[in-house]
Amino acid sequence: TRDSAVAAVTGPGATADGHPVALLANIGGPRDIETALEHGAEGVGLYRTEFLFLDRDTAPSEEEQEAAYREVISAFPGKPVVVRVLDAGADKPLGFLPPTEKEPNPALGARGIRIMRIFPDILAGQLRALARAAEGESAHVQVMAPMVATPEEAAWFVAACRAAGLRSSGVMVEVPAAALRAADLAPGVDFFSIGTNDLAQYAFGADREVSALAGFQDPWQPVLLDLVAMTASAGVPCGVCGEAGADPALACVLVGLGVGSLSMAAPALPWVRAALSRHTFDQCRAAAVAARAETTPDAARAAARAHLPALP
């Protein structure tokens, strides 16, 4: 059957001609480890740490954080674990922070790295806990910051990581300013991870939570593919951790645009692994070129599929 053919493809992600693509899991905490391993995740591409911080009146202690981080890190020996520092603020307010000004447009407010710059102790504590959790473990811990828009923000974050003894640090590319100027950000970071959910939100100025505007969240939008292409060609390793990577056809297109790792909700991993294994890197590139030549998401999807005859 279709499902058993998909499940039969195992091992590290790669195209039919052997171009490697790391297939990683998006997780929210230790409770998601088992599902990630069951689906053959080659590591964690997005550990959303905010769940430790939300819905409480006091900040989690560094000890509490360290325990959660170590549980995740120790589950992936020798593998990459990309930890995203707290992505809060705006519509995800933190109960333990003093009130800031009222924000009429929360998605455009002090969120992600922006709130860390207002309250730098949160980041410092998180990085200390993470550095301790990584001690003696063999996983490759990489730290990344959400909502980075400028090289100056990236430099501030990378310096904080270095000060905490964390050697691999990068930024999420989820604001068009960062994608359009990826070449300016690249020299200061070790990697990029594209957050396609927010990148679509900010490219179209369309709130991702408003269902009437859901069409703008379609990751086949050609403009989103353009922004991915710009980011992936800036000269540092580039992954995708938004929902886009979970669509097997789009995963092939992203690889064709130069993306080297894909992180997604774990149940999608076998489907993406199978799709990549059945197409060559050239086919992925041709699909990407064809999709970008179109002007609507539906046309882009159809054009790409014409180059990807063996999708699961």
Q: Which residues contact Mg ion by CB under 5 A?
A: 174, 195, 198
Query: Smallest distance, Å, CB 48 to Mg ion?
Result: 9
- Residue 200 and residue 221: Cα distance in Å, rounded? 8
Q: Which does 241 bind (CB under 5 to 8 A by kind): Mg ion, ligand PEP, none?
A: ligand PEP
Indicate the residue among 15 and 196 with the shorter CB distance to Mg ion: 196
Side chain identity at residue 259, one-letter code: V
- Residue 216 CB, nearest distance to ligand PEP (Å)? 13
CA dihedral 281, 285, 286, 289 (to 10 degrees): 170
Min separation Cβ 302 and ligand PEP, Å: 24
CA-closest candidate to residue 119, choices 150, 85, 155: 85
The residue (of 48 and 305) whose beta carbon lies closer to ligand PEP is: 48
- 45 part of the interface to ligand PEP, by CB under 6 A: no
Number of residues engaging ligand PEP in binding (CB under 6 A): 10
Q: Indicate the residue type of 212.
A: A
Nearest approach in angstroms of CB 261 to Mg ion is: 17
> Of the ranges 69-77, 96-104, 177-185, 193-201, which one interacts with ligand PEP (CB under 6 A)?
193-201
Binding mask 266-305 for ligand PEP (x = CB under 6 A): ----------------------------------------
Find the residue with minimal CB distance to ligand PEP. Answer: 195
What pairing do the DSSP bridges indicate for beta strands 44-48 and 22-27? parallel
Question: C-beta of 51: minimal distance to ligand PEP in Å?
Answer: 11
CA dist 299 to 43, 253, 302, 305, Å? 34, 14, 5, 10
Nearest-angstrom CA–CA distance, 15 and 281: 6
Task: Find where tokens 């710009």 sit.
Answer: 230
Q: Answer yes or no: are the C-beta atoms of 194 and 188 closer than 8 Å.
A: no
The footprint of ligand PEP on residues 195-254 (CB under 6 A) is: 195-198, 241-242
196 binds, among ligand PEP, Mg ion, none (CB under 5 to 8 A by kind): ligand PEP
Pick 204 or 281: Cβ nearer ligand PEP = 204
Q: Choosing among ligand PEP, Mg ion, none, which partner's interface includes residue 132 (Cβ < 5 to 8 Å by kind)?
A: none
Partner interacting with residue 242 (select from Mg ion, ligand PEP, none; CB below 5-8 Å by kind) = ligand PEP
Nearer to ligand PEP, 87 or 137 (CB): 87
The alpha-carbon radius of gyration of the chain (Å, integer) is 19
Residue 48 engages ligand PEP in binding (rule: CB under 6 A):
yes
Q: Residue 119: which of 105, 104, 98, 103 has the closest Cα?
A: 98
* Interaction between residue 137 and ligand PEP (CB under 6 A): no
Q: Is the dihedral of CA 288, 294, 296, 298 positive or negative?
A: negative
Closest contact distance (angstroms) between CB of 197 and ligand PEP is: 3
Tokens in use for 29?
A: 């905490």
The backbone torsions φ and ψ at residue 11, rounded to the nearest 5 degrees and listed phi first, read: 90, 180
| Residues 296, 297, 303: CA angle, nearest 5 degrees | 90
Which H helix or E strand runs over 168?
strand 168-173
Q: Which residues bind ligand PEP (CB under 6 A)?
A: 46, 48, 87, 174, 195-198, 241-242
